[in-house]
Amino acid sequence: MSSGTSAFKRVEITVEIFYDQPDQSISLVTDDGRMTDENGQRPGFRVTFNANPKSADYNPANFNRLARLLRAEGRPAPAEVPVKQRQLNRRSTVIAELTGEQVRPTGQPADTTLLGWAICPTCTAVVVNLAKHKGVSAAC
């Protein structure tokens, strides 16, 4: 961060950084009472960075930054990981590169039968019960 003047006002907080080995994630945590949920409860916040591309918290660059800081401070820390793209539309490619698994490319339709759904052949609606749908839909 620059020490020059800015249009933004700075607020300082104290955070803790820790490595959760079973989850393979690194978290930034604060219990600062100035930050609460929508009901004024549960003070603080937690931000998690994960090196697993299947995780919603996948952020390898920040994961590596925090791992280096933990190591520099003599704390338990994971090894650095390859930095890959984080965009969701490219995630299947990243998963394939890192794990060797083939994942359905983003933008492809999901297999509705795996979810117990059906597609009406007449109106193409995705429904839970095709017979019931045909019974209540005059067009089908």
* For range 56-67, the mean pLDDT: 94
* For range 25-43, the mean pLDDT: 92
Listed residue (15, 79, 88, 35) closest to 57, CA to CA? 88
* For range 44-58, the mean pLDDT: 91
User: What pLDDT is recorded for position 2?
Assistant: 55
Cβ(91)–Cβ(53) below 8 Å = yes
Total residue count of the chain as it appears in this document = 140
44: left (phi over 0), alpha (psi -120 to 50) or beta: left
User: What pLDDT is recorded for position 105?
Assistant: 59
User: What pLDDT is recorded for position 108?
Assistant: 61
The pTM score is 0.64
| pLDDT surpasses 90 at 80 | yes
User: What pLDDT is recorded for position 89?
Assistant: 75
